[in-house]
Chain A
Amino acid sequence: MTSQTISGISDDALTHRLKTEGIVLEAFPFVFRIKSPLAIVREGLQAVYADYPVLPVDSTFVDFHVAVVSARRVPRPLCVFEVDGARPFTPLAAGEAFAFLEWGMNWCVTGYCHSFLTIHSAVLERAGRVLIMPAPPGSGKSTLCAALVLSGWRLLSDEMALLDTRTGLVVPSPRPISLKNKSIDIIRGRAPEAHFGPIAYDTMKGTVAHMRVPADSLARAREAALPAWVVFPQYKAEADASLALRSKATSLVQLADNSFNQTVMGRAGFEALARLIDSSDCYDFTYGRLDEAIEVFSNLPIPR
């Protein structure tokens, strides 16, 4: 059975469905029902979720019922994110509607999915092993993640690792890569064929745009994999690439700091993090040029 995708729905039909019953979007391992009367949301979905399955409204279990609706028209139009009728955030400029949807969807996962240990990080895979890059905003994590994806790494997530505490495997949750400010043009320059969603200007994070996930990463969304590398990246303009092993103890502490729900997961969560660090090599990585960074990552040895 071939399932329907967003790209298989006409503009008019999609507009109508988003305004009325909504669409049920499968972004493995989560299912979102999305409603929005705003054209920019429809355009964003078409641009970066083109190949995601759209499931039947009536016969699918939905994890999160979300919407971005208009909150005010004058003097400056605003929009607001809703999850199941509740509005957890204050309204934003209407031009940020699609970015708002993305942030809201991330919030649903970090706020309600304590069946996984969630770690704020970019997650990629090569040769069956997973690279986890936890990092604060401004460290160049997403830019590096996008560049690695364009050079053949499989994207598991640009935003968070979902660690199955029983198996120790990281479960993919591939969604569009969020790029900010200069990174948008840098990545566009490297991949003119990549698809981008609507650009949101002057957000709290600056200018934001989302890049579509490569077809291969999406097709393999159900393949969980074992971590091998935990790398803490730091962008420094013009710096030479430098990769240095770091202690496992401080890596564990910092990884726990980057976890959204390590305290919720209690002992099982801590032990799963410790096992992850035990079986991975941990590095600090400074870089100033993406090509050098890609080279370094392609030579990362698989831990014994």
Chain B
Amino acid sequence: MSAVRTQKNIWLNRTAIVAVLVALVIMLVPIYWIAATAFKPRNLATTVPPTVSFEPTVAPFVKLFVKRSQLRKPVPDEEYQSAPWWEKMVLDGGEKVVRTGRGKIRSSGYGDRFMNSIIISVISTFLAVSMGTLTAYGFSRFKVKGEDDWLFFILSTRMLPPVVVAIPMYLMYRVVGLNDSHLGLIILYTAFNLSFSVWIMKGFIDEIPKEYEEAALVDGYTRMQAFFKIVLPEAMTGIAATAVFCFITAWNEYAFALIMTNRNAQTAPPYIPSQVGSGLPDWTVIAAGTFLFLLPVAIFTFLLRNHLLRGMSFGAIRK
């Protein structure tokens, strides 16, 4: 009997693992496809049947960063020969690189948007995590009247639909001139991530034994010294994980960026889709932009893998 059971279990296990692998392939095909499209020559991007094997090219990435316009007539041979390799890629696609009067290459909007995304995400993450850590410590170690209500209030701000908050914020920003500014988005993202960072950091700090600080206090440390020299180093892993989570959230945010910015402070998420436009979009360039934008998040996901559960459940479930 038992042998039969074991036999059956082994069989069941193998089937399950095969099923997992099939699921994995299905889940990853969309991501693979966008990555593959980013390295395709334009004429292979939208073929029927889909092109699976091709010689990869970086032309989409070149086109992503420079401003291009349609070539009206073919370029003379010597001009083509003297052009650098990357410019040839643009010329091969029937387009030319747009230059200023002084011959400087004009950039497309992508680089600026990418920089905006970095600036806004990094600063708002720094603010949200540092304020969040302090507040989490306050809630973790001291008695606060109505603690649960305050924590609920803090969490509830995270649950607000962005468009609901955006309506009054748009009007208020218009009055104080923060529309389409980096500071405006930084404030919004900090507020959005702050609640997350308080909740998650409270969990991490709760896990640090109080005795460590108590010992330090007995040794003559002030509370402030105990916090900076004992608690902070102990909480470093938690702080790093929280920071990565906040960064990803800010990096991916779309609704606020769409409503509050249009040029100067626009981040990549509203910019990339706006490039599809009408007519025949160059999907290789869009894929290249998407690929570069998703790459940091993919890397961070691997760094975060042991903290994903905790982060996604607002610290309720620990491993």
The answer on A and B forming one complex is no
Interfacial residues, chain B to chain A (CB-CB below 8 A): none
